[in-house]
Homo-oligomer: A and B are copies of this chain.
Amino acid sequence: MKSPKFSEISPVSKLLMGPGPSNVAPSVLKALAKPLLGHLDPSFLSIVDEVQVMLRYLFGTENQTTYPVSGTGSAGMETAFVNLIEPGETVLVCENGVFGRRMIDLAGRCGAQVNTIAKPWGQVFSPREVEEAISKYKPKIVSIVHAETSTGVLQPLEEICALINASGVFSIVDTVTSLGGSQLYVDEWAIDVAYSGTQKCLSCPPGLAPITFSDRALNKIKNRKTAVQSWYFDVNLIQNYFGAKRSYHHTAPVSMIYGLHEALRLICEEGVEACVARHKKNHLILKKSLESLGLRYLPKAEVILPQLNAVAIPDGVDDKTVRKRLLTEFGIEIGGGLGEFAGKAWRIGLMGVNSNECSVSTLVAALKKTL
């Protein structure tokens, strides 16, 4: 076979204001390019230790078992589900967007009896609705999305997770788009398993999925009657690497962990509360500008997710033409709609380092010229 010949890649820097990946700080890119260490080298294990300390801080937890899964955010969802669910158990999925739907699919693949409560896209669940569904279906596990990237809503969780816990039920929470961008207190809210992704508010390239397990969840997993259906995501095995033993499970993605270390370090320097406040502040500036351009948010004001702005595409405007012009003429990426919102919504991310006034003005100016 003849060997194919290609040139070195030369990606042009763009402003990534879609649903992720977001741009990353220059020092994160620099970290990715640092010399490789072995995944069992003591100097690398110290870096892993620090990553775990910083992830605990961001999640608001003292859970020992807090680590980056070697896969993207979706791998975090799969890790949570395959470990916590045993075949035949009843799982209640709260579905109000693409990621709730994915949970239904995944819970089925884990052999769960899946019950669902649904809300129209753009709306959130009330504690009472979840409480009633728990009474009705008597699930072992409830799963819910904190920040629905497909609809741009922020689900209030404090009360809901407290009542799940009080019912003796386990909670799985998708925090892919909320970690670092919205208030999240895993221990205080009594969340059992929360997972995230690196490519949203953490401003690290996609490829890792931070996750945290409560002791209660680990205890359930330790007492499983059946093996976890995944070897790669089995927390019983992975704990031997991320726990005290530090023994081989799979080869850790060294360079990505370097990048995550730096991305987390920057958030720790800022402080997570300040980082969340910044996401809120820049969202409000963007919202005012978008509304002055006549654009309307799809979710109600009180549940809007600051870091992911879902706005209706105005009548008579062609979705793809606008997004293509923004990308090619202005070097700005915004997201189209997913699922029910395909062709109806734009999703504008203000995540991580992109949550700043300069990104907002640049996008608004470009949108004004394009519309």
A355 CB, nearest partner CB in chain B, Å: 16
Q: Is the CB of A41 within 8 A of B253?
A: no
| Set of chain B residues within 8 Å of A3, measured between Cβ atoms | 57, 268-269, 271-272
User: Does A44 interact with chain B (Cβ within 8 Å)?
Assistant: yes
- With contacts A3-B271, A255-B32 taken as known, whether A206 is within 8 angstroms of B39 at the C-beta atoms is yes
User: Which of B1, B21, B38, B78 meets A21, CB within 8 Å?
Assistant: B38
User: Does A256 interact with chain B (Cβ within 8 Å)?
Assistant: yes
Q: How far is the CA of A31 from the CA of B18 in the complex (A)?
A: 23
Q: Is the CB of B205 within 8 A of A21?
A: no
A-side interface residues, number (CB < 8 Å): 87
Q: Is the CB of B43 within 8 A of A262?
A: no
User: Which of chain A's residues 228-263 have a Cβ closer than 8 Å to chain B?
Assistant: 228-232, 248-256, 258-259, 261-262
Q: How far is the CA of A252 from the CA of B254 in the complex (A)?
A: 17
User: Which of chain A's residues 21-59 have a Cβ closer than 8 Å to chain B?
Assistant: 21, 23-24, 27, 29-39, 41, 43-44, 47, 50, 53-54, 57
Q: Is the CB of B13 within 8 A of A27?
A: no
Q: Is the CB of A258 within 8 A of B21?
A: no
A80 CB, nearest partner CB in chain B, Å: 12
User: Does A181 interact with chain B (Cβ within 8 Å)?
Assistant: no
Q: Is the CB of A262 within 8 A of B8?
A: yes
Closest to A61 in B: B1
User: Which of B8, B20, B27, B47 meets A251, CB within 8 Å?
Assistant: B20
| Set of chain B residues within 8 Å of A30, measured between Cβ atoms | 33
| Set of chain B residues within 8 Å of A72, measured between Cβ atoms | 70, 250-253
User: Does A343 interact with chain B (Cβ within 8 Å)?
Assistant: no
Q: How far is the CA of A289 from the CA of B51 in the complex (A)?
A: 41
User: Does A210 interact with chain B (Cβ within 8 Å)?
Assistant: no
Q: Which of A100-108, A132-140, A214-222 contacts its partner?
A: A100-108
Closest to A5 in B: B268
Q: Is the CB of A327 within 8 A of B41?
A: yes
| Set of chain B residues within 8 Å of A259, measured between Cβ atoms | 255
Q: Is the CB of B27 within 8 A of A205?
A: no
Q: Is the CB of A251 within 8 A of B109?
A: no
User: Does A348 interact with chain B (Cβ within 8 Å)?
Assistant: no
Closest to A253 in B: B207
Q: Is the CB of B227 within 8 A of A109?
A: yes
| Set of chain B residues within 8 Å of A253, measured between Cβ atoms | 72, 205-207, 256
Q: How far is the CA of A105 from the CA of B232 in the complex (A)?
A: 11
Q: Is the CB of B268 within 8 A of A44?
A: no
User: Does A168 interact with chain B (Cβ within 8 Å)?
Assistant: no
Q: Is the CB of B47 within 8 A of A34?
A: no
Q: How far is the CA of A258 from the CA of B76 in the complex (A)?
A: 23
Q: How far is the CA of A30 from the CA of B255 in the complex (A)?
A: 12
Chain A to chain B contacts (Cβ below 8 Å), 10 pairs = A4-B50, A11-B47, A70-B207, A73-B251, A105-B231, A109-B229, A109-B230, A206-B252, A207-B256, A229-B229
Task: List the 6 closest A-B pairs by CB distance, nearest first.
Answer: A207-B253, A13-B35, A74-B250, A33-B33, A205-B255, A29-B33
